[in-house]
Amino acid sequence: MMNSKVIVFVVLLCLTGFGLLLRGYMPKFPQLQYISHFVTACDKCLTKDDPWLMQHLHKSVQPFLSANYSLPEDAFNWWKHLQLESRDYGTYRTTVNRLFQMFPKSPDLLESSPNHSRNCAVVGNSGNLRGSHYGPLIDSHDVVIRINKGHTKGYEADVGTKTTHRIMYPESAMDLDDSTHLVLFAFKIKDLEWLIKAFSTGFFGRSYAPIKSTIKANKDLVMVTNPAFMRYVHEIWLEKKGGYPSTGFMAVILALQICDEVHVFGYGADDDGNWSHYFEELENKKFKTGLHPGSHEYDIILQLAKQKTLSFYGGY
């Protein structure tokens, strides 16, 4: 009996030593800054009781429009001033009713399960993604959310190839493959009209920038952000700072609403305080962060990372 106990003890000791040896040779993801936190499904859940987070993260706010949702008129009145919408609430409601005659009546959301949490990568367009080698890590997520015209071709090593959700507005629209969700951030009624016409007759209106007349995308995967959600991000998260939130910051808060784990890449201004992009040269060196409170948005992301609510990958 004593010999068998000794043998078991020796075997366990050897296995422990072997495990420690393997741990020392485990590969590490490159360029993770000290504020980054790599979390797994069991390590962190967004339902954890955190007073500051609970003051800001209101799960009751519906992030997307649906056929059975009625936007409060006060939320419409806030939204209509973002880009000087002159038409009334009735026109908005008529347009939304037309919208849901063509597109899904409810958003297509990834469901959580007891055995697997919804892990999401939100990929911004910051120039700090150049040389980051985050591509494989980004592609390993269930959901990969990209913003506006963030390119992948030619930048695969740094930004990956996978896109499950593409956030856009008409002035930043691009064609999508058949498996990618088109997530429209609408800032005016014309944006909703563009969505309808871009999938049917073609859109021929004007805006402050050129707009695609038609778009290639799967109309069964279209999702439209709720103006009340945009207001919530501005008033609760940003405390009404700036003209209105950037699409990039709203994408982060959207991910906190619909995902169990959130990993953020490609955020942050350059050394001159400009939002430069990894896929193009910045033309306006005095743009800074435009109408948006960029530094405040960035500070909130850093705070969420420090609290381990999300994982932040700073790049170069």
Catalytic annotation, residues = 244, 292
Has 292 been labeled as part of a binding site?
yes
Residue 274, marked binder:
no
**148 annotated binding-site participant:** yes
Q: Give the residue among 225, 58, 69 at the shortest CA–CA distance from 145.
A: 225
Residue 125 assigned ligand-binding role: yes
Residue 134 among known ligand-binding residues: no
Query: Is residue 277 annotated as involved in ligand binding?
Result: yes
The C-alpha angle 86, 91, 97, rounded to 5 degrees, equals 145
User: Residue 55 annotated as binding?
Assistant: no
CB-CB contact of 218 with 178 (8 Å): yes
**Binding site, residues?**
83, 125, 148, 208, 244, 248, 268, 277, 292
**Binding site for substrate, residues?**
83, 125, 148, 208, 244, 248, 268, 277, 292
